[in-house]
């Protein structure tokens, strides 16, 4: 069931989104060669809790950390660890959320560690730009397929693979609500977008094939061909005009 949010609910979600966005910004500030992914997670959790919020991911379906931290060919859901050390030239994707007064914010970004290759930079830039191409289509009266098609066409035309098994989603009192928001689709198809809908839109784009595999930890998703992946995400609200980005610091 799709839950339309009231003005009051959107104000709470704006605060949850602000905390989520500031935590993500903090993660980007602390990422550096020699730091562990567990160190990044610890700083993120400390900040979210200092704001009177709860890390949305911690304990979600048993996930053991406040942030998913995925490096290089890891697509999503990387588990932070003290032995996972960041190196110069890495791409580090951080996905996190915060809950306040029962409502969630959810956002993600991929960060470059020092000097990265031109190919890695192009992948990261394209994935970020694809998110905003999708956001342009997140308007009342449109369709979910409009968002997915915008993301897919932007990335595929540039030679990248689209992860199809994982999608964006509705968000609110639950971290994942209806509807699903795929990063592929057909214009004019799918659920109609209505004012008051809140969505997490999150392209997960691979340098090579869109195919993926799940590692033995039951969480970490990697590219099937070992090539790089990037991930960007915003929580947004459908309004009577352009969408409202809720995850801004």
Per-residue pLDDT band for 76 (boundaries 50, 70, 90) equals very high
Q: What share of the chain in percent tops pLDDT 90?
A: 100
7-239 is a CATH 3.90.230.10 domain: yes
What is the rounded CA–CA span in Å between residue 64 and residue 83? 15
Q: What share of the chain in percent tops pLDDT 70?
A: 100
pLDDT at 52: 98
pLDDT at 83: 97
249 or 53, which is more confident: 53
Identify which of 206, 212, 19, 21 has the alpha carbon closest to the alpha carbon of residue 108: 21
Tokens of 176: 């994942």
What is the rounded CA–CA span in Å between residue 178 and residue 132? 21
* Mean pLDDT calculated for residue range 83-95: 98
What is the rounded CA–CA span in Å between residue 221 and residue 208? 15
pLDDT at 24: 98
pTM of the entire predicted model: 0.97
pLDDT at 42: 98
pLDDT at 247: 98
pLDDT in tens, 121-149: 999 999 999 999 999 999 999 999 999 99
pLDDT in tens, 172-230: 999 999 999 999 999 999 999 999 999 999 999 999 999 999 999 999 999 999 999 99
Residue ranges of domains in the chain: 7-239
pLDDT at 210: 97
Q: Give yes or no for a contact between 201 and 233, defined as CB atoms under 8 angstroms apart.
A: yes
Per-residue pLDDT band for 53 (boundaries 50, 70, 90) equals very high
pLDDT in tens, 107-121: 999 999 999 999 999
The DSSP call for residue 62 is G
What is the rounded CA–CA span in Å between residue 39 and residue 133? 33
Average pLDDT of the chain, as a whole number? 98
pLDDT at 178: 98
């Amino acid at each position: 069931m799709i839950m339309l949010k009231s003005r009051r609910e959107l104000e709470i979600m704006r605060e949850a989104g602000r905390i989520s966005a500031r935590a993500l910004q903090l993660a980007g500030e602390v990422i550096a060669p020699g730091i562990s992914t567990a160190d990044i997670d610890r700083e993120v959790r400390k900040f979210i809790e200092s704001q009177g919020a709860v890390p949305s991911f911690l304990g979600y379906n048993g996930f053991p950390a406040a942030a998913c931290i995925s490096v290089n060919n890891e697509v999503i859901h990387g588990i932070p660890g003290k032995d996972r050390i960041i190196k110069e030239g890495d791409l580090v994707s951080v996905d996190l959320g915060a809950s306040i007064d029962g409502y969630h914010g959810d956002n993600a970004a991929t960060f470059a560690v020092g000097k990265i290759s031109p190919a890695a930079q192009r992948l990261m830039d394209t994935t970020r730009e694809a998110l905003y191409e999708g956001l342009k289509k997140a308007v009342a009266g449109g369709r979910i397929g409009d968002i997915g098609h915008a993301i897919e066409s932007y990335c595929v035309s540039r030679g990248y693979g689209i992860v199809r098994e994982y999608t964006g989603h509705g968000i609110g009192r639950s971290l994942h609500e209806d509807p699903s928001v795929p990063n592929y689709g057909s214009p004019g198809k799918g659920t109609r977008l209505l004012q008051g809908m809140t969505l997490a839109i999150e392209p997960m784009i691979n340098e090579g094939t869109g195919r993926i595999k799940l590692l033995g930890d039951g969480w970490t998703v990697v590219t099937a061909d070992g090539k790089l992946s990037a991930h960007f995400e915003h929580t947004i609200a459908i309004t009577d005009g352009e969408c409202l980005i809720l995850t801004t610091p």
